[in-house]
Structure formats: C-alpha cells, structure tokens
Structure 1
Amino acid sequence: MAIIINLDVMLAKRKMSLTELSERVGITIANLSVLKTGKAKAIRLSTLEAICKALDCQPGDILEYRKNH
C-alpha cells in the first residue's frame, strides 16, 4: 500500500507507549497495533482526530504517501 502509517514514530517522539495511547484515545491495543503495523485498510476520521489530539500532532505526521511503495 502506498500509504505509510508512522504511528510508531510519533509514539517514540512523544515517549508514549501503545498502552498509554490506548487509554487516552479509548481504542483497544489490538486495534492500535493493527494500525501501527500498517495492516489497517481504513481509519475513521474521528479515530485519527483522537490520536492526533493525544499525540499533539497533525494527520500528516501519522499518514504518509509514498508513490512506489
């Protein structure tokens, strides 16, 4: 897929664990893990908004488009 999920990068930059993000956002660790590993096929805008709020970042910090990936 040409869309890359950089959730792990943002978690590292914010020194936050997946467990802490899960608690702040109200999404299961399993679902966040699917997103983090790039196996998710879709993400709700409300979920993206909650993640951005918890990580104090922009959607573009998490989602990246690579042409030939």
Structure 2
Amino acid sequence: MIKKPDFEAFAKDVMEAWPEGDLEGFELQEKAIKHGLIYEVDGGYDPKKHEDLYGCSEPGDTWYQINFKRP
C-alpha cells in the first residue's frame, strides 16, 4: 500500500540536512521516498504508461511516480 505523503516531515528532514550546505539529488530522492512523496512503480518503466522526458529509460528500469496531485 502506498502511504500518504507527509510534506511536513519531508520539509523538516530536508532542513535538518541543509546546514551541511547542500543536498545531493539521491539524498533528496531518498527523503521523498521515506516520506511518501514518490513511490517505486511495480514492474518499473513501461513506455506505454510513462513519459520519459530524457529518453534514456528502458522497459523494466526502476521508475518512480509522484504520490500527490499537482496544482
């Protein structure tokens, strides 16, 4: 089951890491997964279902989906 995003906990986690001066992309991704903002799609990338903006994903590659509605 996909958990509900916890934006407040995500923001606190990011701010705790911020005094170090920077957050690497993988760290941000780990925090987003931890707090339910994104989730790994079962089966991975499917070109029939997912839009790959960079054009480098292969079917079955690990793929993440946002877990909230965009405004």
Name the TM-score, length of structure 1 as normaliser.
0.25
What TM-score do the two structures reach when normalised by structure 2? 0.24
